[in-house]
Structure 1
């Protein structure tokens, strides 16, 4: 047995942690990888070489030295640009989007599909999987799994869409099993080349599985949970310990909390339904049975209504609201609607700050655009209505990933590979 192989055997358990460090950008060089893993330089080199041999990362042994730097520069580590991908799928009110996502959260290809989402969830799941299969045929890259984001709270362990308020699906739709069936019919493989188990993904309530164990197949979660996970690993949430994400979808409002790298999803996957916080006692009726919830007071339809604009029949509400804010902010009615929604959103965030005490808040969807239009107002409202906001300001930042729910769906499709690269690739 060669010396390199002996080192690799000693460091085999470090393959997964090493891959995750490169995947999330926390180990850009072999020197950083060595320090993060707490192993010798030789072992780190053997681990990096094995991950490169698996086609997962790229090692640059001759990187250019920075100006003024002394000594030999460390090997640079990046994800393999032509490595394997996973299929990420998202269903939203106005249709779906399929994408191929590589390590590092990089979207390789994407295909949107506009359709009226039918009451039968199997129809739209078949359509989005078919679109993903087409992308795979075009790119010719190896697929290691699939994940799905849906606009609904998803109950675990059943894997059912518990209460899909903004699509016509029946309560309790078995999205996990339907996605599994669509993947099998399309012949999309999973880790190790086996038929895809239909992983409809979300972080488990206690976080992702322990090292050395594949992620349980068929877990289910909603789009905002997955967006939060993506932002934590690859976007505006990097470095946060208690990350709160609040975002609009095409309709409604969702939220998620990432604690020390793990999604907090409650006892059965249903935590952080922030869209149903009341911010106006005499507000609009909400689908949940209450009134004045964030879900109906700060989503794209609420913005269009506040601005006195009737929603168009052919463009998604989210796109229409964003275009209005971008192109007509000088209009007093649009500006007034912006400030009105920021006041309502700030009151909701203030309550969450009091309860959760996050160290960072990231906003997505239309909320991101509203924040960028008037950033000082939102911070002032949160500070005015929260104890912790007054004593120690909480940074409020826009999400930075355009398709963060897709990237998040890909994250837990990647999780078996991050846990055990050799097993996931059939080694």
Structure 2
């Protein structure tokens, strides 16, 4: 009787391990079957059964040629199946749209960047990004499992409404999740897409932080603070032990509206001197007394201004001015959160690279934890963090339950 119960329990246990196993392979933590065996704390037979199931689902490959170089029995290599399914990942910027296809393992196809539509009301914006994603889905022979979108404004949980959509003057409380679901449902994603195609939507900084934690500069951190400035404004996020801290309604860590200069530049929120208005590309140009060229992406021009700081006095003074305010903001957040790593992205990464000693000195001077040398400040590693994060969002249900992947 006990033997029969054990036989029934073993397959059940193997099924419950599919999600944890796929997540470990997805994040590159277990490149071999022996590493997966140790990470899951199971027998080799159980690990073999789990990987065989994931391979049968078309999610991973198991290379029967053993990986040598270590002690003990050589182990089989595990990798994401390059022909496996994809999700559509999209992003709306303050001045454009981006879409790509993303497989497991944080692997993105080259993104397609598009201008904003002539009308930037919610329906037309979401329709434009949904149609662009559908075009990519039709172009691939790989199974398409979901469509997820990163937005440059707070998104409430669980209802998926946009609050303070300041860049486009959308009405507060716009039901972006529902609207996006409708537009994705209307678009033709081709015969290889799941129908109806599941959708998801979230704040871009939150998603970029999650992607950096899983695949970039945040790997290994327990309390990761992520701060970024993209085309306009500033976003932030906190990842604790692998989980985004989003607060009671998905609105936590709006660090962009932390005041760093009470007499500073007006912010779109109605306040003055927010990190949002003191450390973004517009603020850098204002500090330099320059006007950006029309028709060119603002973030690209701001980066060029950062690079010029090594030879141009005006650019250097502007960079130092913005860095001082960024340092004040980082120190204030660090004093409250006590992160074990700070990752900077977007323009903030360029500022860090332009004057790393100055930024770290400001944070150390203003932060108790910085003075103790316990706040490593590093640059983001992912070129398209928010898109990679949108991919993580789209893959989320399948990482939790790989058996839900249609074959």
Please give the range of the TM-score, normalised by the shorter of the 2 chains: over 0.9
- Structure 2: unaligned runs, 5 residues or longer: 1-6
Shift of 1:133: 1.4
Q: Is the 8 A contact 1:188 1:195 kept in 2?
A: no
Residue 324 in structure 1 maps to residue 308 in structure 2:
no
- 1:279 aligns with 260
Equivalents in 1 of 2:191, 2:223: separation in Å? 32
1:43 is matched with 46
Unaligned regions of 5+ residues in structure 1, if any? 201-220
1:139 alignment partner in structure 2:
140
Residue number among 24, 28, 31 corresponding to 2:27 in the alignment: 24
Partner of 2:279: 298
Tell me how far apart the structure 2 counterparts of residues 160 and 97 of structure 1 sit (CA, whole Å): 21
Alignment of 1:60-99 (within 5 A): 60-66=63-69, 69-99=70-100
Which of the residues 278, 284, 289 maps onto 2:270? 289
Secondary structure at 1:61 match in 2? strand
Hey, what's the Cα distance between the residues in 1 that align with 2:389 and 2:17? 24
Alignment of 1:69-218 (within 5 A): 69-115=70-116, 118-188=119-189, 193-200=194-201
Task: Identify if the C-alpha distance between structure 1 residues 145 and 184 changes in structure 2 by more than 3 Å, giving closer, same or farther.
Answer: same
- The residue that corresponds to 1:215 in the other structure is none
Aligned residues: 403
Q: Distance in 1 between matches of 2:235 and 2:71?
A: 49
Alignment partner, residue 53 of structure 1: 56
SS of the residue corresponding to residue 154 of structure 1 reads coil
RMSD, matched Cα:
2.2
Correspondence for 1:342 among 312, 323, 332 = 323
User: Is 1:399 aligned to residue 400 of structure 2?
Assistant: no
Residues 6-21 of structure 1 mapped to structure 2, 5 A cutoff: 8-21=11-24
Question: Where does residue 216 of structure 2 map in the other structure?
Answer: 235
- Shifted more, 373-382 versus 110-119: the winner is 110-119
The alpha-carbon deviation at position 7 of structure 1 amounts to 5.7
How far has the Cα of 1:194 moved from its partner?
3.5
Deviation per CA, 1:56-112: give whole Å up to 9, x if none: 01111214423xx44432111111111110000100111100110110110024211
Which sits farther off after the overlay, 180-189 or 123-132?
180-189
- Cα 1:117–1:321 change in 2 (3 A) is farther
TM-score after normalising by structure 1: 0.90
Q: Give distance in 2, aligned partners of 1:360 and 1:96.
A: 30
Match of 2:205 in 1: 224
Distance 1:196 1:70, change over 3 A: same
- Per the TM alignment, residue 193 of structure 1 is displaced from its structure 2 partner at its CA by 2.9
Cα distance, 1:82–1:197 mapped onto 2, change above 3 Å = closer
CA deviation map 1:378-422 (0-9, x unaligned): 111000001111123300000100111011011021011111111
Could you list the per-position Cα deviations for residues 243-300 of structure 1 after superposition, in whole angstroms to 9, with x for gaps in the alignment? 0000002100010000111101111111101001111121011122211110000001
- CA 1:123/1:231 → structure 2, altered by over 3 Å: closer, same or farther? same
Pair 412,5 (structure 1): closer, same or farther in 2 beyond 3 Å: farther
Distance in 2 (CA, whole Å) between partners of 1:70 and 1:26 is: 19
Report SS of the residue matched to 1:193: coil
8 Å Cα contact 2:141/2:192 also seen in 1: no
Out of 244, 255, 258, the position equivalent to 2:239 is 258
Q: CA contact under 8 A between 2:199 and 2:394: conserved in structure 1?
A: no
Quote the residue 1:423 is aligned against: 404
**Higher deviation after alignment, 37-46 or 54-63:** 54-63
